[in-house]
Amino acid sequence: MIRIFIGYDPREAAAYHVFAHSILTRASRPVTVAPLMLSQLGELMWRERHPLQSTDFSFSRFLVPYLAGFEGWALFFDCDMLMLDDVAKLYDLRDDRYAVQVVKHDHVPQETVKFLGAPQTRYEKKNWSSVMLFNCARCTALTPEYVNTATGTDLHQFKWLGDDGLIGEIPHRWNHLVDYDPPAPVEETSNLHYTIGGPYFEEFRDCGYADLWTAERERMLFAAQRKA
């Protein structure tokens, strides 16, 4: 069983459901998909919202190893994505030498505002935490107490590991930054990330790969009609 956690923000509910559908319909092995909803996390998340926090799951993502009982492996994804490949291929990249594996972007955004007027911030290891393959037993520092009190820098720059050598790398194709990265053929891209804003927002309806997201939404909404 592949355990998958997806960040959830009510403002991006459509993005979450389409992304979950894109995972489920391409997976070759059983998966569980759980949204990280603040309304369900209850007393596990008590920190106040930071002025620079752009989504509800900016910090809750780091609760994944705790929610997995600090056992086995688990995947985290932002919700503003579209899976084009079998997630089992990503899961099969897990390597016991590492505590967490990510796409190591060198991402320096030029804009200051992204979707819904959310602030765009710059920091080292930007977008590394948007897709994480957790070796949960090696992430025991991520207790609810730590996740609720650590700085955003400490969390998103993986300072809780104490050693960057514990951060493994996964291929770039698993976190392609739409309209930042050079366009790539679909067959060379496994997971699209609409990080600045996706076609579920009117402002970004013509963004890169918008047609793929719209087609996935239509497949999700399909319901076979009863034959006469």
Q: What are the strands of the beta sheet with 176-177, ordered from one edge?
A: 81-83, 191-193, 176-177
User: Does the residue 29 lie in any domain?
Assistant: yes
- Distance separating alpha carbons of residues 56 and 106, to the nearest angstrom: 24
Rounded mean pLDDT, 185-204: 95
Q: How many folded domains does the chain comprise?
A: 1
User: Does the residue 71 lie in any domain?
Assistant: yes
So what's the pLDDT on residue 7? 98
Structure tokens at 145: 């107490």
In tens, the pLDDT along 93-148 reads: 999 999 999 999 985 666 556 556 555 565 688 899 999 999 999 999 999 999 99
pTM over 0.85: yes
User: Does the residue 227 lie in any domain?
Assistant: no
So what's the pLDDT on residue 217? 98
Please report, for the domain that includes residue 148, its CATH number. 3.90.550.10
What range does the domain containing 34 cover?
2-221
User: Does the residue 76 lie in any domain?
Assistant: yes
Asked if 46 and 146 touch (Cβ cutoff 8 Å), the reply is: no
User: Does the residue 228 lie in any domain?
Assistant: no
User: At residue 203, does pLDDT exceed 70?
Assistant: yes
**Around 172, how many Cα atoms within 13 Å sit in the side-chain half-sphere?**
12
So what's the pLDDT on residue 186? 94
So what's the pLDDT on residue 122? 57
Amino acid at 223: A
- pLDDT tier at 15, thresholds 50, 70, 90: very high
Q: Which of 154-163, 200-209, 219-228 has the lowest mean pLDDT?
A: 219-228
- pLDDT tier at 50, thresholds 50, 70, 90: confident
So what's the pLDDT on residue 24? 98
Tell me the average pLDDT of the chain. 93
User: Does the residue 39 lie in any domain?
Assistant: yes
User: Does the residue 226 lie in any domain?
Assistant: no
